[in-house]
Chains A and B, each alone.
Chain A
Amino acid sequence: MEPIQIVFLIGAALVVVSAVMVVTRRNLIHAALYLILTLFGVAVIFVLLQAYYWAVIQVVVYIGAIAILIIMAIMVTRDVTGETVEPFNRNLIGAALLGVMAAGVLIWSLSDWPGFSALAPAAETGEIVVQDLGVQLFSAEGYLLPTILASVLLLAALIAAIRIAFPNETEEDN
């Protein structure tokens, strides 16, 4: 077994084990901290895919922003770390079956596909790829319109989040 395969298996084991911990931990803070571990494992996988830029973005955006935002929200909604409450609803067995089936069917249907065990072609990686991505994202012949739509979506989500979370006047009556 090659060293890179061992690195992949360690990263994959980290991802899967901590993902299972995320969905089974009773204490939400622990679940959120395991989510950070999962995201780090995914960043390792991105490095192995030679998507170095995405590994950095994964750490900065997912771990630096999203995971911290989730932890802050858990802290704001206090008493919901959930140590006294059953964490699962009554769909537990059905949901477990469905999760296993979804993964199984995905793997099974992909295993028929001839490209399933393809090896990576040699390719340029690193700064040339990032440069090309930036040029494509902001050129009119490339993907300028999706980029603008994505930024509008982000702005709308930002404003909506502020508006939704803002306390309003009628609240004192409730």
Chain B
Amino acid sequence: MIPLSWYLILAAILFGVGLFGVLARKNVIAILLGIELMLNAVNINLLAFWRYLTPEDVTGQIFTVMVFVVAAAEVAVGLALVISVWRRRATAYADELDLLKW
């Protein structure tokens, strides 16, 4: 039997790695990859809590549906923005996108 703690520790580590990717990477697509890692960590947590605490209830899985939907929407709009910025500015690096920086 696997205790719940193993899943929670794995999700926490995955979240930390994703957070590092979002904060440290220059490329916008690499930042999106970090966000995907964090969303996956959340999904592991949601399904682990569903399985260990309320397996008779579907609420945990409903939340997982929502996270999947948000992840799909986020990556679609994010990549569209990347392509649009690439067309206009010919760059995909977050530190060069400083038009709004005063």
Contacts and interface: CB of A to CB of B under 8 A. Distances in A.
Given A51-B47, A69-B76, 18 more contacts: A4-B1, A23-B25, A28-B29, A42-B44, A61-B72, A70-B79, A88-B25, A89-B94, A98-B19, A98-B23, A101-B16, A107-B9, A116-B8, A120-B52, A156-B73, A157-B74, A165-B79, A165-B84
The secondary-structure label for the interface of chain B is helix
B77 interface: yes
B12 A49 contact: no
Interface of A: 2, 4-5, 8, 12, 15-16, 19-20, 22-23, 28, 31-32, 35, 38-39, 42, 45-46, 48-51, 54, 57-58, 61-62, 65-66, 69-70, 73-74, 76-77, 80, 82, 85-89, 91-92, 94-96, 98-104, 106-107, 110-111, 115-121, 123-125, 129, 132-133, 136-137, 142-143, 146-147, 150-151, 153-154, 156-158, 160-162, 164-165, 167, 171, 174
B97 interface: no
Given A19-B18, A106-B12, A117-B3, A89 B95 contact: yes
A118 B71 contact: no
24 contacts: A5-B2, A16-B14, A23-B20, A38-B40, A49-B47, A66-B71, A66-B72, A69-B76, A70-B33, A77-B92, A89-B24, A99-B19, A99-B20, A102-B15, A106-B8, A111-B5, A115-B53, A116-B8, A121-B52, A129-B58, A132-B58, A143-B62, A157-B77, A174-B88
Contact of B62 (A42, A73, A98, A146): A146
A46 B77 contact: no
